[in-house]
Structure 1
Amino acid sequence: MAQPMGVRPVADHPASVISSNYCAPHPIDLAIVRKVKPLTGESFEITNIEGNIVFKLKAPYSFSHSLRVLLDAAGNPIVTFRQKINSWHGRWKVFRGSSTDSSNLLFSAKRSSMFQYVNSTIDVFLANNTREDYCDFKLKGSYRLRSCVIYAGDSTTLIAQMHKEQSRQRIFQLPKDKFTVTVNPNIDYAFIVVLILILYEIDSSD
């Protein structure tokens, strides 16, 4: 599949944030499906173009509205992310596996401004970027509009994009609770999925 229009080449070295296991040498198309059931609450399934489940996210129904766990297809925890209490910018922290210990922090994400309306701008800081003088990645867009783009830092290098329409291969049928994400080569697609789920949480809280 061709890269989206306007995409600049990404570095040859994989941009691995969660794991290099989720970096592919070719573009990856994923479908993200939101489900709400009366007894089990809200959940997400992330599938590949063949319809096979790649990741699952189950949001606690009553225990904690600020804690999420991304699972692989076998149900193993990949990352845990939670919202920082009393954060004006809606900061979320993402940890390796099922941990929420600071030693396992992978990255954090927050709105660049407290006042955002239809579209959000989210700055992403890797764990070793403690000063946060610059962002390592930036997301711009809206979950409500099913449209966003993710850049490497403050550059114009596009690394992933959420699409309102079906993929170019026309494999997915996309009702309003389903959309596709195209991830560029050598980019950690588990990381991209978590960013879009955080966008959903931030947009939903506004």
Structure 2
Amino acid sequence: MAYTSSSYAQPSHMANPMAMGIVGPKFLAPYPVDLTIVRKLMSLSDGNFGVTDVNGNIMFKVKAKHLSLRDRRVLLDASGIPVLSFQKKLISLHNRWVVFRGDSSDSKDIIFSAKQSSLVQFKTSLDVFLGNNEHGNCDFKVKGSWFDRSCTIYAGDGRTIVAQMHKKHTVQSIALGKDTFAVTVYPNVDYAFIVALVVILHEINEEKNDVE
């Protein structure tokens, strides 16, 4: 179950978003959902990422698939059931990741894809396309500064905010060698979809840092 933040206030410029059951209607809530995404710097058996609600209850885990020719990640629910899987396209100038339903890698099960908005970026910018769309207008945009761990996710118009992410500093996260992100998902926005975007954003920037 997801929980709401009592301090949330919807920005006056934001239109009421349409219900966005992108991964599934069970990941929608009529109120804002506050999540904490923890990336373990050392890969442990329980996954590379853990996602909790404001009460510390596990909602998702993200695990890397080993023995694969491609970079592949799987998002699991609290029961360990695959919700969706991420796969990087082997040949992609813009670092495109494709997301499938469950543990599938079949094109008929594609939910969305995300890629860098441009080859050279000084600020974080991703274009997100639902389904098999790869060349039309994007359905969502991610903008911000990965260096500052601060990003905002917009609907395709680039003005309607659907989620916001920022770095979360805690004594525990520093002591245990963890990267921790606080994410607020706006009402009626699919929070499994938002978690997937944050993970993809992290993977793209980690790869860029490795190259540099």
TM range (shorter): 0.7 to 0.9
Shift of the alpha carbon at 1:5? 4.8
Structure-2 separation of matches of 1:204 and 1:148 = 16
Match of 1:186 in 2: 188
| Alpha-carbon shift at residue 52 of structure 1 (Å) | 0.4
Seen in structure 2, the aligned counterparts of structure 1 residues 196 and 172 have a Cα distance that, compared at 3 Å, is farther
Q: Is 1:67 the counterpart of 2:72 in the alignment? A: yes
Structure 2 CA distance for aligned equivalents of residues 88 and 41 of structure 1 = 32
1:28 aligns with 2:33: yes
Rounded Cα–Cα distance in structure 2 between residues aligned with 1:125 and 1:9: 21
**Structure 1 residue 10 displacement after superposition:** 2.6
**Counterpart-to-counterpart distance in 2, 1:64 and 1:57:** 18
Q: Which runs of 5+ in 1 are unaligned?
A: none
In structure 1, the partner of 2:3 is: none
Asked if residue 49 in structure 1 is aligned to residue 49 in structure 2, the reply is: no
Displacement, 1:196? 0.6
Matches within 5 A, 1:1-206: 1=6, 2-3=8-9, 5=11, 8-11=14-17, 13-37=18-42, 40=45, 43-60=48-65, 63=68, 66-117=71-122, 119-127=123-131, 129=133, 132-165=135-168, 175=174, 177-206=179-208
Q: TM-score, normalised by structure 2?
A: 0.85
SS of equivalent to 1:54: strand
The alpha carbon displacement at 1:71 in A equals: 0.2
Q: Which amino acid aligns with 1:18?
A: V
Structure 2: runs of 5+ lacking an equivalent? 1-5
- 1:86 Cα shift? 1.9
TM-score by length of 1: 0.87
Code of the residue aligned with 1:60 in structure 2: it is K
Displacement of 1:60 in angstroms is 3.3
CA 1:127–1:74 in structure 2 vs 1: closer, same or farther (change >3 Å)?
same
Distance 1:88 1:180, change over 3 A: same
- Whole-Å separation in 2 of the counterparts to 1:42 and 1:24: 26
Alpha-carbon distance, 1:109 to partner: 0.4
RMSD of aligned Cα (Å): 2.4
CA–CA separation in structure 1 for the residues paired with 2:66 and 2:132: 33
Shift in Å, 1:173: 7.1
Deviates more, 1:52-61 or 1:173-182: 173-182
